[in-house]
Structure 1
Amino acid sequence: MTSQTSGTPANSPAPDQIRRAPKVLLHDHLDGGLRPGTIVELADACGYPRLPETDPGKLGAWFGRAADSGSLERYLETFSHTVAVLQTRDALFRVAAECAEDLAADGVVYAEVRYAPEQHLAGGLSLEEVVEAVDAGFREGERRARENGHRIRVGALLTAMRHAARSLEIAELADRHRDLGVVGFDIAGAEAGHPPTRHLDAFEYLKRANNHFTIHAGEAFGLPSIWQALQWCGADRLGHGVRIIDDIEVRADGSARLGRLASYVRDKRIPLELCPSSNLQTGAASSYADHPIGLLRKLNFRATVNTDNRLMSHTSMSREFEHLVDAFGYTLDDMQWFSVNAMKSAFIPFDERLAMINDVIKPGYAGLKSEWLFQ
């Protein structure tokens, strides 16, 4: 499969084909993907008075503007509203079900959706009750998707907040719910001043339990964050990891020289959970055409495409790929490459990943590519 790097070739997929293509999502935040109308209704139900807008359309636009600041810290502030309305079992169940429905309607066949249980305790729920409510919602969303002719499998990643001190507790929670809908662990939040090494006890616990984890690293902070996540903590994947580009020198002739950390990431096939639209909002890239994903694809890193926060970025998996098709001339072959990369990197058993690749992803793209024969 050969990636195009400029222009839009004649066989670039149309938006409808992009939507129908089987896609795999590894980095999506539950509290960053609510429907604006749902936020308004939940705020009314729980008496939350501080929404900046009560009209769903205006509220959705407000989230986009607030997130378009170029600052990760400002971007993270928008979550105060979504988290505030997610403090009951019914709210968590509803939002998880709608998440699965929305992703399935967008052609996502496998998703790992993350959330921080510790942020949903203000209404009196226990950590266990939070996890059970979200899991029940995902299963309901999968059921509704099947009724509408879509297929999706959703696994949860339990996130600990890197500025807090509950990471070991959340890691233990993730391990208790392993094979019961939870597929792994994550830490998230502002990177600067909160290195992953503060949570070594959680990562050591997970490694002893042979459990999977990813770490937000290399998003707003640079190579030291990536190095610590890999070499000190032992992360299986990098949440974002976009700043690995700082260890790659592009020469005048277009060739690239990889530094030792970049070489290690590529050679070890460490997955990068890249989120193009979100990265533009937080200042990690200035445009889609300048996003490091183009070079990382060319250099055959284990790059994947993700949404991060669909509400804040006004995005979906289809929109992310539409932007990349426009910026780099990507074809269905490229979309399949990214999707297979992501499925290979998922936190479910190998035989299940292989079945998804061979029985769902490859046949799905083959069917779409065969449509070109009749145009």
Structure 2
Amino acid sequence: MTLSIEEIRQAPKALLHDHLDGGLRPATVVELAEEIGHTLPTRDITQLGEWFQEAADSGSLERYLETFSHTVAVMQTVDSLRRVARECVEDLVDDGVVYAEVRFAPELHTENGLSLDEVVEAVLAGFSEGMTRAAEQGKTIRVGALLTAMRHAARSMEIAELTVRYRDRGVVGFDIAGAEAGFPPTRHLDAFEYLQRENTRFTIHAGEAFGLPSIWQAIQWCGAHRLGHGVRIVDDITVSEDGTAKLGRLAAYVRDTRLPLELCPSSNLQTGAAESIAEHPIGLLTRLRFRVTVNTDNRLMSATSVSKEMALLSEAFGFGWEDLRWLTINAMKSSFIGFDERLAIIDDVIKPAYAKLIG
């Protein structure tokens, strides 16, 4: 039985890989751009939403990066950052998400003079407002921030220190993002070693556009607690004609240690990591019981939501409620909040809701 987006929207979901600057509402982009005189490809809200998706779908890296130049341009003030963060929470609540880790790169939002601390405080304030509004509506959501350093820049230690500074105020972990090729995670080894000494959790974008060496470095050199994407781990898996799979040493290590994979199916199609949802490695990785999680990456650029991603997987692989429960609990187990809080969301929110859906 294929589950629809509307059906899945009613189920509680957890999200680990979502970029704040990749999830704005087109209407908000238009309004904020008008306030600062920023020129957009179009001011028509519907057409702008379509433009973002088409540019991300184009196969051109230049056009894909251009989409972020527009969203980042309108996120340079305290008020705009608060608004975008608040609306992010509202949109996730509407999609039935009960837990989310949303990431952003503070260094990208200082063009108009904001300090790194001011950027973080503005976003955290927006998240707090969104969670308060949800609670007033009788809905539950917990949102934590992941602070991202750009791997082609040299500010990762600054961002790591910022992460530690705000880890008791809404920041739950650290991340590095940006082009993998030519910018290995080991360039930022000092930041990762510092975070380890400070008992702070981190994920690393690895194994999306680049292959196994990126994943190996992220885990074995840098100590990643999760892999951002990690889809290329399939390069270390050989599947015979009868469907039997043989895992290489790295793939076996990832599975054996239950290292979470932050998979983003629709986004992977846009970046060329998979040809179609039906051919996406998530089917194999789920069958082999890797610690698979389902994520959005950039909701605006991929015109997606967690419910839509799960509906696509239900259609392609026949995933039912038990599969979606497994994926959701995987994500919740892999989150960067404390054990007691994770367990409470699993036992009090996720399991009771799926028990009703499964029947």
TM-score band w.r.t. shorter chain: over 0.9
Match of 1:122 among 99, 111, 116: 111
Partner of 1:145: 134
Structure 1 CA distance, aligned partners of 2:102 and 2:119? 14
Mapping for residues 1-375 of structure 1, pairs under 5 Å:
9=1, 12-49=2-39, 51-70=40-59, 74-370=63-359
1:218/1:225 contact within 8 Å kept: yes
- Which residue type is aligned with residue 126 of structure 1? S
Q: TM-score, normalised by structure 2?
A: 0.98
By relative contact order (CA 8 Å, sep 6+), the higher-ranking structure is 1
1:69/1:282 contact within 8 Å kept: no
Where does structure 2 lack aligned partners over 5 or more consecutive residues? none
2:3/2:315 contact within 8 Å kept: no
Q: SS state of the match for residue 226, structure 1?
A: helix
How much does 1:70 deviate? 3.3
- Which residue type is aligned with residue 64 of structure 2? Y
How much does 1:72 deviate? 5.3
- The total of aligned residue pairs comes to 359
Q: Please, which moves more after superposition, 74-83 or 330-339?
A: 74-83
1:280/1:286 contact within 8 Å kept: yes
2:208/2:268 contact within 8 Å kept: yes
How much does 1:148 deviate? 3.1
Structure 2 CA distance, aligned partners of 1:201 and 1:133? 27
Partner of 1:4: none
What are the Cα deviations for residues 321-374 of structure 1, in whole angstroms up to 9, with x where unaligned? Answer: 11000000100000000000000000000111111111110011112223xxxx
2:292/2:330 contact within 8 Å kept: yes
What are the Cα deviations for residues 193-243 of structure 1, in whole angstroms up to 9, with x where unaligned? Answer: 111010001001000001000000000000000000001100000000000
Distance 1:61 1:159, change over 3 A: same
How much does 1:147 deviate? 2.9
How much does 1:77 deviate? 3.2
Q: CA RMSD in A?
A: 1.0
Structure 1 CA distance, aligned partners of 2:291 and 2:66? 31
Q: TM-score, normalised by structure 1?
A: 0.94
Structure 2 CA distance, aligned partners of 1:342 and 1:77? 31
Distance 1:71 1:206, change over 3 A: farther
1:112/1:154 contact within 8 Å kept: yes
Give % identity: 72
Structure 1 CA distance, aligned partners of 2:67 and 2:301? 8
Structure 2 CA distance, aligned partners of 1:76 and 1:257? 37
How much does 1:143 deviate? 1.5
How much does 1:179 deviate? 1.5
Where does structure 1 lack aligned partners over 5 or more consecutive residues? 1-8, 371-375
Structure 1 CA distance, aligned partners of 2:326 and 2:65? 31
How much does 1:42 deviate? 0.3
